[in-house]
Structure 1
C-alpha cells in the first residue's frame, strides 16, 4: 500500500550529504527525469526500474513541479516492472525444444551442455516476450528540512535497489538507514547523550554493525513497554516536537500480536491479550520480544503499528483516515496536495508519539538506577505476582 493509504509499511533513511543550491523543484526535476521509469510493454526486456510520480504511476516526465515538489517534501515513487516465467513452464518448453533438437540430430544421445544453455536462453526469451510485465510501486517522501526520507519498500532486496537508484540519481548524496541506535540518538535528552554513547556496543558507524551489536535497544524497549502494559501503566507525555503540543498526554500499550525469539526459535502470540500470560512466560524463559504491535491513542485519534525490534521497521502503520474535501472550485492537483499534506500531518503525529515513548524509555534505561528499575519491571512481568 502507498504512503497515502490509511495503513502503510515503511522504513526511514537519513539523507547524508550537501544538497544542491537553489530551488529544489528546479534541480530535482532533471535528475528524476533522467532516471525515470521506461516501460517495457512493447519489448522483451525482463525488468525495468525507475522513478514515476507519487500520484500517477504512468507519469515519468516530472514536468509539473506540483507533482513532485510539495515544500518541504520531494515526492516520487520507485516503479519496477518485471516479467517472470514460471519454472514449471520454462522446464516444459525446454524439454520440448531438446526433444526437437535430438530428433533433428539422430546421432546424439543427449543435448550438449552449451547447446542446452543456448536452447534455454532462446526458450526463456520467447516466453518472456509473451509475458506481461508485472509492476511494483514503492513510494518515497523526502523531507528536505529534516533530511529524513520515508520509503514504503520494507523488503531488504527492494531497499537495496532503491538505495542504488537514489545514489545514481542524486550524485553526492547517500542514504543511511535510521536504525534503532540512530533513532535513539535523535530523541535522547541532551543530558543522557554520553550515557547512550557508553551503551553503544558497535565498534564502528557501519549500519549493519550498529544493528547487529545494539539489538538490546529494541528488545529492552519492547520488554519495558510490555511490563508497563501488564501493570496498567499506559499514559505518557509528548516529549518530541511535532503536531502535538509538548506535555500533552497520550496512551500507549502492546496488544494483539507479539513475536518472541531465542536464537532461531520463534513463537507468535496473537489475538487480544488478557494477562499476557503466554508472552510473559516466554520472556521469563529467556526469549526476547522480536516484534510487537504498538497502539498509540491521543484524544479521539488512534494509531497502531507492528514494530520490528531489530531494525525499527514500521509495518502496517495505521493512522487516522484522511478524506479529500471536494468542491466546485478546487482543481484536482490542489485536492491531491491537500490530501498529501494532511496525510503527512497524521503520520508525523503518530511518529511524534512513538518517538516520545522511546525518549521516555531511554530516560529510564540510561539512568544510574536502571538495575533497580529493571528488577521492578521483571516483577511486573512475573506471573506469580498476578496469581
Structure 2
C-alpha cells in the first residue's frame, strides 16, 4: 500500500549532501524527468526502473515542479516493472527448440554449446515478449525542512534499489538509514547527547557498526515499554517539535504482538506471542530465559485519535503503521487535483503526528536510560519479571 493509505509500512532516511545552489524544486524536477520511468508494455525488455508521480503511477512527465512539489514536501514514486518467465516453461520451450534444431540438422547428435546459448536467449526473448510486465511502486516523501525522507518499503532489496536510484538521480546527494542511534541523536538535547555518546558501543561512525553494536536501544526500549504498560499509567507528554503542542498528553502502550529472539540448543530461537496481553506472562518467561524483544506492536493515543504500529527494534522500521482515517469534506465544486492535494496533506499530517508521539516516547525512555535513575529502573523491571508465576523454564 502507498503512503496515502491509512495503513502503510515505512522506514526513514536522512538526506545527506550539499543541496544545489539553484532553486531546489526546479532542480529536483529536472533530475526526476531525466530518470523517469519508461513503459515496457509493448517491448520485450525484462525490467524498467524509474520515477513516476506519487498520486498517479501511470504519469512520469515531470515537466514542472507541480508534478512533485507541495509546499515543503518533495514527493515521487519509484516504479519497477519486471517480466519473468517461470523456469519450467522456459525449460519446456528450450527443449522443444533444441529438438527442432536437431531435426533440421541430422549431422548433430547434440546441440553445440554456443547454439544452446543462442537458442536459450531467443526462446527467453520470445517468451518475455508474450508476458506482461508486473508493476511495483514505492512512494517517497522528502520533508525539505527536516531533511527526513519517508519510504514505503521495508524490503532490504527494495531499499537498496531505492538508495542506488536516489544517488544516481540526485548527484551529490544520498540517503542514510535513520537507524535507532541516528534517531536517538535526533530526539535528544545537547546534555543527553553527551551521555548518548558515552553509551555508544560502536567504535566508529560506520552505520552498520552503529546498528549492530547499539541494539540495546531497541531491546531496552521495548522491555521498558512492556514494563510501563503493565505497571504504570502509560501516560506521556509531547516533548518533540511538530504539529502537536509541547506537553500535550497522550497514551502509549504495547499490546497484540511481541516477538522475542534468543539462542537455544539448536541455534537462534524465535518466539512470537500474539493476541491481547493481560500480564505478558509468556513474554516474561521468555525474557527470564535470556530472550530479547525484537518486535512489538505499539499503540499511541491522543484525544480520539489512535495510531498503531509494529516497531522492528533493530532498524526502527515502522511496519503496518495505521493512522486515523483521512476525513475530508466532500465538495462537488472541488476538482480532482485539489482533492488529491488535500488527501496528501491530511495523510502527511497524521503520519507526522504519529511519528511525533513515537519520538516523544523514545526520548522519554532515553532520558531515563542514559541517566543515573536507570539502575533503579532495571531493578524494578527485574523484580517484576521474577514474580512471574508462569516462569517454569518451559520456553528456554
State whether TM-score is above 0.5.
yes
Length, aligned pairs only: 387
User: Which residue pairs with 1:183 in the alignment?
Assistant: 183
Q: Is the contact between residue 285 and residue 390 of structure 2 (CA under 8 Å) also seen in structure 1?
A: no
User: Which residue pairs with 2:12 in the alignment?
Assistant: 12
Choose the corresponding residue for 2:383, options 362, 379, 384: 379
Q: Is the contact between residue 238 and residue 249 of structure 1 (CA under 8 Å) also seen in structure 2?
A: yes
Tell me whether 1:289 sits opposite 2:296 in the alignment.
no
- Structure 1: stretches of 5+ with no match in the other structure: none
Tell me whether 1:203 sits opposite 2:203 in the alignment.
yes
User: Which residue pairs with 2:93 in the alignment?
Assistant: 93
Inter-CA distance 278–386: structure 2 relative to 1 (3 Å threshold): closer
**In structure 1, what is the Cα distance between the partners aligned to 2:388 and 2:55?**
54
**In structure 2, what is the Cα distance between the partners aligned to 1:130 and 1:121?**
14
**In structure 2, what is the Cα distance between the partners aligned to 1:115 and 1:219?**
57
Shift of 1:80: 0.5
Q: Is the contact between residue 66 and residue 333 of structure 1 (CA under 8 Å) also seen in structure 2?
A: no
SS at match of 1:13: strand
**In structure 1, what is the Cα distance between the partners aligned to 2:390 and 2:104?**
80
Inter-CA distance 351–294: structure 2 relative to 1 (3 Å threshold): same
Shift of 1:386: 8.8
> What TM-score do the two structures reach when normalised by structure 2?
0.94
Tell me whether 1:312 sits opposite 2:316 in the alignment.
yes
Shift of 1:6: 0.1
**In structure 2, what is the Cα distance between the partners aligned to 1:151 and 1:162?**
9
Tell me whether 1:76 sits opposite 2:80 in the alignment.
no
Shift of 1:26: 1.8
Shift of 1:106: 4.0
User: Which residue pairs with 2:132 in the alignment?
Assistant: 132
**In structure 1, what is the Cα distance between the partners aligned to 2:357 and 2:390?**
30
**Offset from partner CA, 1:213-259 (integer Å, 9 cap, x none):** 11111111111111111224311111111121111211111111111
**Offset from partner CA, 1:52-83 (integer Å, 9 cap, x none):** 00111111011243331101001110000000
User: Which residue pairs with 2:111 in the alignment?
Assistant: 111
Tell me whether 1:280 sits opposite 2:287 in the alignment.
no
Shift of 1:260: 0.6
Shift of 1:109: 4.2
**In structure 1, what is the Cα distance between the partners aligned to 2:233 and 2:287?**
19
Q: Is the contact between residue 379 and residue 385 of structure 1 (CA under 8 Å) also seen in structure 2?
A: no
User: After alignment, is 60-69 or 137-146 more displaced?
Assistant: 60-69
**Offset from partner CA, 1:32-64 (integer Å, 9 cap, x none):** 101000000111100000000011111101124
- Structure 2: stretches of 5+ with no match in the other structure: 392-396
SS at match of 1:220: helix
**In structure 1, what is the Cα distance between the partners aligned to 2:231 and 2:105?**
79
SS at match of 2:388: helix
Tell me whether 1:355 sits opposite 2:366 in the alignment.
no
User: Which residue pairs with 1:221 in the alignment?
Assistant: 221
Q: Is the contact between residue 261 and residue 267 of structure 1 (CA under 8 Å) also seen in structure 2?
A: yes
Q: RMSD of the alignment, in Å?
A: 1.7
User: After alignment, is 26-35 or 353-362 more displaced?
Assistant: 26-35
SS at match of 1:384: coil
Q: Is the contact between residue 325 and residue 335 of structure 1 (CA under 8 Å) also seen in structure 2?
A: no
Q: Is the contact between residue 281 and residue 390 of structure 2 (CA under 8 Å) also seen in structure 1?
A: no
